[in-house]
Structure 1
Amino acid sequence: MWANFHTHSNYCDGKSAIADVVRQAEAFRMISLGMSSHAPVPFPCKWCMKPEALDTYLHELTALKEKSPLELYSSLEIDFIPGIISPNDFRSKLDYTIGSVHFVEKLPDGTPWEIDGLHTLFLEGYEKIFSSNIRDTIGRYYELTREMIATACPTVVGHLDKIKIQNVDGKFFDEGDAWYQQEVKRTIDVIAESGAIIEVNTRGIYQKKSSTTYPGPWILEYILQKGIPVTLSSDAHHPDDLINQFSSTAQLLSKIGFKTLTVLHEGRWQPFPFHEHGIIIR
């Protein structure tokens, strides 16, 4: 049995209705499911929920909680853009929050620059905002993550190192570079002091955008060293992906030395032992 707390529906860029996601979770005999569609943002965004849909989304989740035998929780994946949006804006309405950085600064025309979309768009911001300086680009991404933790700490930190998907064939940097590892470790040190959970996100693997989870193995080793709790998620945009790559990732986590996964069960986040076939609840 598994749990997943990072999932999307057709309220944002997910491919299915919430009820369909819940039905598949029931078929997989999952312990808990958290729905976390992309939160509305105050500017045009094709993959975010429309602001006027938020109340309907929350009401639908409430109704499904009453019907489903599954433990179902209400959440959003919330962007952090200083002075514009943060997990603080929604936490009172939700069972938990996921905080993610998708946007870094603005393009010259004022459009927020998306760092995990098309590579051509990434290159535009890389050149126009950061003058093709990769250390400044990466540094600002992780600086924003640290600022989110310090000022609007979410329950779960989303896909920590996702910006690496733009580093195709290592053309911008090597993850062994001292400056890069320093940025990541500084960020993890801040998370360690916050009490937040870090998700181990499998989406990059099954989408073939990354050969490793977000975050990757060497970062997970440091997370374990710092004693930070982790939860396993697939960032599913289709019901079939609810447990995609969970077995292999569980094996990886065990090999690194993790003994538990943190799961929202019976209304509270708890550590549970696990193996390659799921979470063990005695």
Structure 2
Amino acid sequence: MSGATLSVRGVSWQPGRGRRLLSDVSFELAAGKVLGIAGANGAGKSTLLRLLYRFHRPVSGSVHLNGRDIWSLSARESARQIAAVLQEQPTDFALSVREIVALGRRPHGSGFAGGGRHDADIIDGALDRMGLFSLAGRSFGTLSGGERQRVMVARALAQEPQLLILDEPTNHLDIRHQLEIVALISSLNITIVTSLHDLNMASQVCDQVLLLHQGNQIAHGAPEEVLTPGHIEHAYAVRVLQQELGPGRNPHLSFHL
């Protein structure tokens, strides 16, 4: 897998004639880098992610992947390049874990109905990376929320995307598996955009952070430039204490009403 350059230019979105939920957001992300999107509930994080994985079309602005507007791509081309893991997963799939992960190969012309040794190796690798081999034969609907989350990450990895969208990837996960997801994000050689509630985690794993408030972009840049007490207090309406941890380490943040 290799990453793609991502260019977001002045995107806005609103549902029909409803209230605008996102206004004039812009950023550039180099191939292989990780962008964290942060902000309070209702800030526009999930709306922005939906624009990036082509669920919503922006009412203004554009999203370019490797210099191409994603809406100029066919649905299959888009699915070969962009994978998304969402917060809430369906529980009624009558498929096994392995079959769900194999669905990641469908944009490449294969899936659980076949695909040959090459696809099988990719699926095995995704299962192994997410620690799912022991669950491969289990029905997806019988899994816990955390297990389902790991399956959907494995499906996205099997898709071999150039851009991976993660909407709160540590949702439902216990501490051990949260740490595994953090390690995974740090190890992948693809471009990643992830929404995160945990600002200390964002500071740890992200090359850049985009901070949103009520659909507007407050700040974008390196974590130490964006996750400042002033910016965070504006975005979340909380008081921030910043503890310095030493040279080469980002400060630890704690929050108070």
TM-score range, shorter chain: 0.3 to 0.5
* TM-score, with structure 2 as normaliser: 0.40
* TM-score, with structure 1 as normaliser: 0.37
Q: Which has the higher contact order (CA 8 A, sep 6+)?
A: 2
Q: Which has the higher strand share?
A: 2
